[in-house]
Amino acid sequence: MSTEEEVDIVELADHSYKPSLHTVHKILESKVVGEHKTRMAIFTTWILGEKPVFVGGPRSSGKSFTTYAIADIIGDIKREGMCYNLSSGSEKSAWYQQEQINKAKYLLVTELNRIPSELKETLKYFGEGKSATYDVTVVDEITGRRKTERKELLPRPFCFCLADEDEAKVDEQLYSRLVHVRMDSSEHQNIQVISQQAKEAMGHKRNNKGLDEEIGKLRFHLATMPSFQKYQFINPAAELFVRAIPTMFTDSRRDFPKLLANMAGIERFYWKEGLQGTIGKKSHLFFITPRSMWLSHHLFADALVESSLRCSAIERLILESLGKEWEFPETVQKRVRSRGIMIGVRMVKKHLQAMSDLGYVEKQEAQGTKLTFKAGDMYQDFTYNLDWKSVIKTCAENMIKQYPKYAEEYMKRYCKEPVFEHPITGESVDLRTLGRDHKGVETHNFKEAEMAEEVVISD
């Protein structure tokens, strides 16, 4: 949380404009090929939930391109204000850029290995919602003498990218404060991107008529959302999501608040349709609805589970390709490639080493210094089934018990007929008919893989 006093800007909002997350999807669809849930996980976590995000993946997988596209939604990345780029600079430069950092609402670090080590330490503080201070030597404008001045950098939600091939490692303390989201490196995604490049070469362009006006309205909507510093978001069904994340590591104590923040972030996106309350001295309350809980679970659960397990989708695939007998990385690579993931031996070995550190994989030296690996017994696939009728029921019961003054209105608006727009397809979702586990299995057959149009990209 920011420590500075913030002006309540919701009074400036255009209450007639009520976008949905499908609006955000359509805008991103005009910029980025595929990556539907990946880009929405980044958007809801970084922009709405104001939590730090680490975007990983192999080189040329679109990490920087996608994060730039998301940052551009909140404002032109090249202009000061909403988002500030911290991708370069000397060891002390960040401290001399205090004014720009404090003016910005979000920070973007397109490549972590390019920023000074001092700033990496700053990000650790920001990850905890704390300010960072640093003493610098400046020249007094009046006396001309050198003096020490204390600079303060106020915490900002940040997003950074780091390629798998990069030798730089994310500090363990920093990593535990992040949500790790990975880009799709499958052959299917490669074909989608290349196919769009071919269409552009042939002169085919998508009709984005009216999109600029929509982006302008959305930017103003995002800029006037209720501040987390002034408003509290009550989650009447939070207890049902305790088992929605893996709890094998103590980092789960930091992971669960990330889930709650994501739900709260989505609710504040829909605040113009929300229920605001006053309880005692707490005059600024919003009650999180079942809709926001499902949207968060649908868009964010996969990313959070991977981040919590410290085992990404590609690492799970490597683990599934690893036998119970000692094997060389080259053998594992061949199995992974046969499943459509084009990955080098060096990267397979790097992932195996990382999983070995966590206990998911065992390793030993063979033939001198060459390593062999075999699957361990620690990793267990994580599944979590949630009955959304129970979520609706729990919300209603806790509203009656804890907030009776607002219970009737809450149940009438959000529990009786919980029907809303799907964030990807635009179809109507009736929450009473859905079941979902963290893998994305829906009882309703949403056609997310059959979007009508390909999208325009530029790299």
Higher pLDDT, 315 or 155: 155
Q: Work out the percent of the chain whose per-residue pLDDT is above 70.
A: 83
**DSSP result, 327-367:** B-HHHHHHHHHTTT----HHHHHHHHHHHHHHTSEEEEEET
Residue-range domains of the chain with CATH:
9-128+155-223 (3.40.50.300), 313-375 (1.10.10.10)
8 A C-beta contact, residue 424 and residue 26: no
Residue 406 CA neighbour count, 13 Å, CB half:
21
Q: At what angle do helices 21-29 and 63-74 cross, to 10 degrees?
A: 130
In this model, does residue 423 exceed pLDDT 90?
yes
In this model, does residue 437 exceed pLDDT 50?
no
Which 8-state DSSP code applies to residue 442?
Answer: B
The listed range with the strongest mean pLDDT (24-28, 101-105, 121-125, 252-256) is 24-28
Q: What separation, in Å, do the N-terminal and C-terminal C-alpha atoms of the chain show?
A: 34
Higher pLDDT, 329 or 310: 329
Cβ neighbours, 10 Å, residue 226: 23
**DSSP result, 22-64:** HHHHHHHHTT-SS-HHHHHHHIIIIIIS---EEEEESTTSSHH
pLDDT at 283: 67
- Among residues 139, 184, 159, the alpha carbon closest in space to that of 38 is found at 184
Determine the average pLDDT of the residues in 268-276. 93
- Among residues 221, 209, 226, the alpha carbon closest in space to that of 18 is found at 221
Determine the average pLDDT of the residues in 55-82. 80
pLDDT at 294: 94
Which 8-state DSSP code applies to residue 423?
Answer: T
Determine the average pLDDT of the residues in 198-203. 86
The listed range with the strongest mean pLDDT (298-307, 347-356, 357-366, 391-400) is 391-400
Determine the average pLDDT of the residues in 433-448. 46
In this model, does residue 444 exceed pLDDT 70?
no
8 A C-beta contact, residue 319 and residue 311: yes
pLDDT at 205: 76
Render pLDDT for 94-139 as a digit per residue (tens, 0 to 9): 666 677 788 888 998 877 777 777 777 888 888 888 888 877 777 7
Determine the average pLDDT of the residues in 79-89. 70
Q: Coil, strand, or helix at residue 441?
A: coil
Tokens describing residue 415: 């529990």
8 A C-beta contact, residue 227 and residue 6: yes
For residue 150, what are the β-bridge partners?
135
Rg of the chain taking only CA atoms, in angstroms: 23
Name the phi and psi angles at 361, rounded to 5. -135, 145
For residue 132, what are the β-bridge partners?
153
By CB atoms closer than 10 A (0-12, 13-18, 19+), residue 280 is exposed
Q: What is the dihedral of CA 255, 258, 262, 264, to 10 degrees?
A: 120
pLDDT at 446: 34
pLDDT at 271: 95
Higher pLDDT, 76 or 363: 363
- Among residues 19, 85, 61, 395, the alpha carbon closest in space to that of 225 is found at 19
Cβ neighbours, 10 Å, residue 283: 12
CB burial string 74-94: b at 16+ within 10 A, e below: bbebeeeebbbbbeebeeeeb
